[in-house]
Each structure stands twice: as structure tokens, then as C-alpha cells.
Structure 1
């Protein structure tokens, strides 16, 4: 077969753009086919409210895992701004009249805050827990842009740090449910909950689940840069993928939007429907096919071409919950535009401080478990555990001059423990309304005034509220059951007996078909805005072809 391109990439998310840029640097001809009218996938900015000049990060919103090396090698002009406050959590025991403030650079203020909620003994343990986590994350972070280590090799890297606690840290975070070490080392219900939330974003898990999905989520939330900091992308998420698209085009990639792929053959033929009015079907060929879509979606494309789509042999762990449900998304995201920040019940913390980091509401250890049990019984949890951040306190550039001058701010709310199954039997509008109501009620439970009183209205008079459910993520972005990790997270290492006989397997991007590789969140190191999947797929192709990058 004579090929039109060296590489055809299905889907134009941020990982596809990373892959295209690296492959272009290596001299490969690359075509990206994106179903939507813009590239970027879940990492995009948009004017969410008609007639209101505010460009919000619509789905993904913070950056931790994008390596500086990728930014440098691809020549990206990005600013990732740090946050001075790590988190604030109103204490449900005092109706939010006190709360836990964790400041990144003020240990004295943080210690006093622990004392105010009656958790003085947990302050030192909280810091020690963070130190223990860094023993693991600082050892593993440098491996994220290299071929996958084995489990034994990864453990050996941690032990080689020479820290006397290294073996215990590995066992606590990798071998046993993370709930054990959190509960054993901390007494405060509130502190335990704050720690456990990092194991829950996008997952539906309990602290003691034996499949350890919560541990893998926890690791990915803490491994970024080795210290787990989460930064604000100046200009919004669209600035990140805009730079990646520029880099891909600069390296010669051909990017086509409004191009819906309908079938993929193992020998490299891709059929797609272009975005013209006539909706003509076309085909293109590539020596390699990279898939930025979920594995189950890729399977459907291969089957549509008349071939068997046997799942990849390395797809461990099994992507099913204990109850037999497929791995499903378990979150709702609500974007708000406010006239000003709302007042708090806590007189010792200003709204500007509380919302500068991650604002946790109704996320104590016991509240999280209560919410999970409610969801397991088929109910939307009340109160709904939520995490909030305010982009505009760190980066007001996403607002017009007029909105900035008026004191307006954005809030991004991420509600937990709302598995996709809860929306069964509801139409999209009903589901969106029910989850919006749950989020607003949760907010009201910790504020000194109703949140609705400070939500701006668009020119038509509608409240500036945008809600994205798991069904929205499935319908708009093609994420099965709204799972932001394309079905589940894997460890960033291979099991000791896993095959490593091909570049694709060594980089964790293999499928059942030799010339089709995954490059998105379905890669072994997938999930979040990291570029890992795209980088790994590009390196696998370059290694297999015996070429290098410029």
C-alpha cells in the first residue's frame, strides 16, 4: 500500500497535538482528524454565556502534570501561575464559622488554622504525610517521559532515595488501599476528608476499595512536578491547546476539523466524513494510526471497518467497579460567573483567600462516605461534596476590561460522587437541572448568603451558570459514560511479567493491532492535561521507525 501520511491521528485533543508536534520534529508527515470544529478536546476555553465577554476553561481547568521539558522542547509560550493558597475547607461541625486554611508559604498561619478547628495534633502529621508522598512522587516523576519501568524497577527507584520510610511509603500508596494510612495517621474527620479528595476526582471509589482505583487517582494528583502543585493556565485552557496546535502546525502537521472518523482498518486506512454541507465520506491512509479516542470508541471504529477489535492484552487493571458497572465518570462540573465573591460564615478568612486555592465543601471523611452510600443507593448525594476554584483571582485575563473593573469573578465547581448511572431514566435537561440544584444547595450550605444572589445574568436575563454532566461529556467529547480517564487509570509502570517486546508495549500505547497505537487518556499514563499519552505514542513510533527528533 502507498500511504498518504506517515501518521494519521484520530481525534484532536491535547495529546494528539503533542504527538503531532513531536512526530513532525522527527520528520514525519502527520494528519489530525478532529470531529469537532476546533481542536483541544476537553482542554479548551469558550465564551460559555451568550453575550458575556468571559472565556472560561470549559472542561479541564488546572495544570499539574504537563512537564516543563515538553513545554521547552515544543517551544510553547505558556504561563502557569502558582496559587498562594493550597486549600480552604469550611468546618461542617461549626456551620462554616471556622475552617481549615492551608497556605503554601505560611506554615504559621496554617498551623493556627489547624488549631482553630480542633486539629492541632494533625498539623504536623499533615506535613509529614506530604513529605512521605514526595518520597514516592519525586522518585517516579522523572520516569513519566521515558519507557515504562516495571513494578520492581519503580519500587527500586523509590527505595534508592535512601529515605528510611521509602518501603513503607510504597506499601501504603501502591500496595494497600490509601484509606488505611489516611485514617491511621490523622484524627480529624475534616483533615482526613481533605486528604482523601485527591483520590476521588473523576472516580467513584471508597477509601478501602481493593481494586485501588482511588490509589492510582491519588498518585496522579500528587505526582506532577514531583510535588503535586496545581497551577492556573494564564489565558485559560485554550491558551495551552492553542500553543500546542501552533507547535503541531509549525512542525508541518495537517489539522482538519469537522472531520468525523467512521472506520479504521488495522492496515492503516481511515474513513471519515468531512464537514461540508454534502457530508461526503473520504478516506486516507497512514503507516501508523494513533488514536486519541477512548479504547472502546476505537474498538467500534475497527469493527465498523469489518475487523475484530480484540482489547489490548495489557489493559490492566480491569475497568469495572465491584458492582459490575463499567468504569464510569462520577462528577459534574459547573461554571459560574459572579458579580463578586460570596461572603463566608468564617470571619477570620476573606473570600479572596478562601477561593484562591481549592475550596472544599462538604468533603469531610464522614461526608464523603455518606455521599458515596447515597449514590450507591441511587440518589444524588445531599449535601453534594464539591471542590471549587476561582480562576480570576490568579488570572483575570479571561475577563473583559469591563468585567474586571466591575469586580466579577468566575467559579469552577466540581461535584463528586455522582456516577453516571444516577442519570439513567432522566433526559439531559432533567439531569442537568437536578445536578445544578445539588451543586447550588451545597454551596449555600457553607456561605453567608445565597450563591444565586451574586451570580451574574447574561443580556437575556439568564443566570450565568453552565453545567456539564457525564452525559454531556459523552455526547460532546465522546467520553464513554463521561469518564474523564477514558475508562480508568493505570499505574505508571508495567507489571513485572508484562511483555515489553515492542516499542508500543514499552511506552504503554499498544493495542491488539501492531500499527494502531493509543495516544490519549487511554494510554497507560493517561488522564489530565499532561501530554504523556501523546509523547509516549510519538516516541513509540520514532523508536519503531529508527528515527530521532530534531
Structure 2
């Protein structure tokens, strides 16, 4: 009989009862080859690969819906919101193909154009443009950028080409586990030989970089502003590009290493086009529902917190005589056993324990690019819309204020209108607007908590800013939801409200993700693996951490 010991605060709770999403019934004492705690997209991907390999798999999701932070929910009747993720592009092609997501019905609307930065009228200058619209067409980009700088219009294709080569080189690292340097030096010749095989992707990446390696190293270690200042001179363009270097990270474009976050977003692909993003029909939840379908059809047992009265929240991970993970115990004392436990929770949650969504009755009408007719979708409505992005300095100022616990005077705003492409998200004539805003402090310096009053205040602040660019926007609002960092933590289990399960800084990447002492997906506990965004290669709806964890089981 095994000697059961516990690891306190090791996993987040699976709140409430779990709902059976498979023909199997979840009962105490049931044995599986693998238990996955958390039904986010990586957990579902891991479940698919494990079940495909013939293993019995159980997925336990703390909420009433599968998908983690990539879900679609009808927060306001008739309006469907992608609550905590809003565009698709980082999903690995291997995962997309293996789970046959296209055959299952996943439809993605590519964005053309893709980026819209209207300038506030106080920044309008005679002889210069009032907005910057970028997309996949080089000639149109040239015309747009040339409004502000002909030099930048000529340099931009060269910069994009260089970043594309960097992204191509890193492709090989995203689909392979990082080498375990610690294990290499602590094993015999056979173990060393096995570890050497994991170095192959590094060698391939280096060969692709070639003479560009010095510039690649600089991008990885330098502030984004240093790189952009060398290549470009126009602030609207630099600020627009700089937003991708801080998304989901509490850093500014002046922070060393912020260049990697920029590159991470450049690695997006859509229909074979590098750097392209799109809107999934039905919202981001459509992606994870098709993933769940793939996992279930392959044999995985998927459970949420609805309907199964035999299951209560997970309390601990069970360890055996050799301190290896052997299962989980729920709060009512029920136990489920497994050879391997995979955690789709954040690393912080696993080991230790602001996105407003708006329903509107009309499209925003931007001063910089007025609508031709009421309710007519303009090209820039399909873009990621950048507000308070006329100058890179605005991003730095917002970062400094939030770091001091203050609500920024001019928060960076990324606004999307997915219903401009996907009519299934809102009633006819109405639209859904999603806002990703930075930077927002988890703990406020004024001592006030994040409650309905402070969330409403913040929402109004964002809406007032949009109103300055697009008069009439506030009047069009039917309803909205605000998710500050503590709410992202409570609802989706995102520790600290971090959508990437941890910083994407250089000290927490590749062989140091989540810790330099143990590269993921492995952990210091035998039989316990990380399969979420806190594992290599990081955050975003990629599916790679889930696939790598499953292949390592």
C-alpha cells in the first residue's frame, strides 16, 4: 500500500461539480494513464495526443465550459464575446493539422488590413496623415507609411524581412522540448547522447540565422525602442510596432528583452502568411470546442463543473512512496489515480498553491477616417485598432504609472471588432468590441479594491478615450464587462492576471521556462508535468506546450 503524502497549494481548485462531456462516468477510485487538471486549449491538445497514443485520459476543468482563457461566452444576451483572448495566429501548424481543425469546421477570417492607428486630432499636422493603416500588401503599406516618412516606407520591408527570418529560425524551437542542461551533466554517456538529440533544433536555428545572428542576439536582449529607433524615424509607426513588444507583459518598449515579445507576435501565421492574425468564426471558443471534439473523439474523458455530482474540487496532488505524482484528491476525499498528472494551471498556482468586452449598436466612426455610411464596415474596422499610440513615449509613461500602482492617464488600447468579419457574434446591425488595455495594476496605490465601482470607473475611462477618437461611441454601448487582473485570476486561474502564465522575458524562456532549475514540461516531481502557457515555448493560443507535454509523458 502506497504511503500517501500531499503537496499543499499545488493546484488550483476545480470549483463546483464537474460535468461529464464523455460517455464515461467520473467515480472515486478510477484509474487513468493521465489526469490533466485544466481544460484550457493546451490541456485539450495534450489530451488529444495522449488519447491518440492509446492512453486513458481524464481532463478536469474548474469552470462550466472548456477552453480556459480561449472561450466564447454570451455575456450580454445576443452578443458573443471572446473573453480573454481575441485573435488567432500563434496556433502551431502541426497542432492545427493533427487535430484536423479545418475538417471539423474551424473557419478563420484573415484580417486585411490588419492594423489601424488613428491619430488624435491634437496630433494632426499639415502635410502628414491622420492615421496609419497596415496590412499584407507592401505597396499599400508603402503609401501609408510614406505619409509620415518616405525613409521608413523604404526601410519597413527590410525590417519585416529580417524579423521573418528570425521567426523562421525560432520555428524549430517552438515544436521541440528544450534541452535539460542539468540532466546532461548529471547522467552517463547514454544520457548525454540522448540529451544531445535535443540540441538539433538549436543547430538548425543557428544555421538559418547565419550572418544575421548578431542582429538576432541584439533583438533578443535590447529594448525594442533601440531596435526601432535604428530602423525607423516616424513615431506613429514605431509606436504601432512597439505595442506588440509589450502585449501581456509588464514591461515597456524601453525594457531590455522586450524585443523578444515583439518577435513572439511576429511568429504568427495565418493561411501560410507570416505575421498574420485572424478572427475565428464563433469567437476563440470555437477553436477550443473543436479541440475538445478532437480529444473526445480520440477517447479522452472531458469533465467540467456541471452535472457530475460525484466530484468536488481538486484539493491536492497525491504523491507516492518515492514522492512521485500518482493522482489527485478532491475536497470530499475522493481520489483519482494516474501514472502521470499534467497541470494546465500556471506554474505559480501549480507549485504554490483588463479586458473590457463591449456590445454596441453601431460601428465606431473615427475622426481620422470617417465612415462612408452608417453601419458600413470600413477596412479599418477589421483591424487591431491602436489608440494612445501616436508616440512610443506614451507606452513608457503608462508603464511607469501602472508600475507605481496608478491607473495610467493614457493607457495603451488595442481594440478589435471581430463582428466586422464574423456576423455570428452579434444581432444584425450590432457589433462586439473587445479591448485589451495596458497597463493595469493588480494592486492599486490608492488602496481601493477592484470591485464593481472601480471596474465601472476604468471602463468609463477607456470609453471616454475612444470617444475622443470616434465621437458617438459611448452612446452606442448596449452593455459591457470589465476584467481587471484580479478578475482574470479569479475567473480563468491566471495568476496575477498574466495571460501568458508568466513573463515572456529572457530569464523565463526556453531552458529557463518556467525555471532555470528545471526546463518544462518536466518538474522536480516525477510524474508531474506542466502543459500550460507557463511551459516552453510560452503563451498565446499555440497548443505547443500541450503537445510537448503529451509527447514527453
Which interval holds the TM-score relative to the shorter structure?
0.7 to 0.9
Counterpart selection for 2:458 from 430, 435, 441: 435
Counterpart selection for 1:133 from 136, 144, 163: 163
In the superposition, the TM-score normalised over structure 2's length comes to 0.81
Moved more, 416-425 or 181-190: 416-425
In the superposition, the TM-score normalised over structure 1's length comes to 0.81
Contact residue 46 and residue 550 of structure 2 kept, 8 A: yes
Counterpart selection for 2:66 from 39, 48, 52: 39
- Paired with 1:174 and 1:437, the residues of 2 have a C-alpha distance of 37
Match of 1:263 in 2: 316
Match of 1:416 in 2: 438
Match of 2:379 in 1: 353
- Paired with 1:79 and 1:162, the residues of 2 have a C-alpha distance of 34
- Paired with 1:6 and 1:101, the residues of 2 have a C-alpha distance of 53
- Paired with 2:123 and 2:234, the residues of 1 have a C-alpha distance of 16
1:219 partnered with 2:244: no
Match of 2:288 in 1: 241
Contact residue 44 and residue 57 of structure 1 kept, 8 A: yes
1:146 partnered with 2:176: yes
The alignment covers a number of residue pairs equal to 480
- Paired with 2:120 and 2:477, the residues of 1 have a C-alpha distance of 24
- Paired with 1:427 and 1:421, the residues of 2 have a C-alpha distance of 8
- Paired with 1:155 and 1:524, the residues of 2 have a C-alpha distance of 14
Q: Residues 323-370 of structure 1: CA distance to partner in whole angstroms, max 9, x if unpaired?
A: xxxxxxxxx111111111121112477662222111100022021122
- Paired with 2:533 and 2:368, the residues of 1 have a C-alpha distance of 40
Match of 1:283 in 2: 335
Q: Secondary structure in 2 aligned to 1:435?
A: helix
Match of 1:89 in 2: 117
Compared CA separation, residues 83 and 111, structure 1 to 2 (3 A): same
Match of 2:33 in 1: 6
Q: Residues 86-118 of structure 1: CA distance to partner in whole angstroms, max 9, x if unpaired?
A: 2111124645694343342443333222233x3
Contact residue 90 and residue 96 of structure 1 kept, 8 A: no
Shift in Å, 1:392? 1.0
Match of 1:308 in 2: none
Q: Secondary structure in 2 aligned to 1:465?
A: strand
Moved more, 10-19 or 199-208: 199-208
Q: Secondary structure in 2 aligned to 1:208?
A: coil
Shift in Å, 1:518? 0.4
CA-based RMSD: 2.6
Match of 1:327 in 2: none
Match of 1:60 in 2: 85
Q: Secondary structure in 2 aligned to 1:445?
A: helix
Match of 1:336 in 2: 358
Match of 2:351 in 1: 299
Contact residue 172 and residue 201 of structure 2 kept, 8 A: no
Q: Secondary structure in 2 aligned to 1:380?
A: coil
Compared CA separation, residues 206 and 499, structure 1 to 2 (3 A): closer
Counterpart selection for 1:272 from 330, 340, 351: 330
Question: Unaligned 5+ residue runs, structure 2?
Answer: 3-28, 182-198, 306-311, 321-325
Shift in Å, 1:536? 0.8
1:101 partnered with 2:101: no
Shift in Å, 1:146? 2.2
- Paired with 1:130 and 1:149, the residues of 2 have a C-alpha distance of 30
Compared CA separation, residues 255 and 357, structure 1 to 2 (3 A): same
1:470 partnered with 2:485: yes
Match of 2:141 in 1: 110
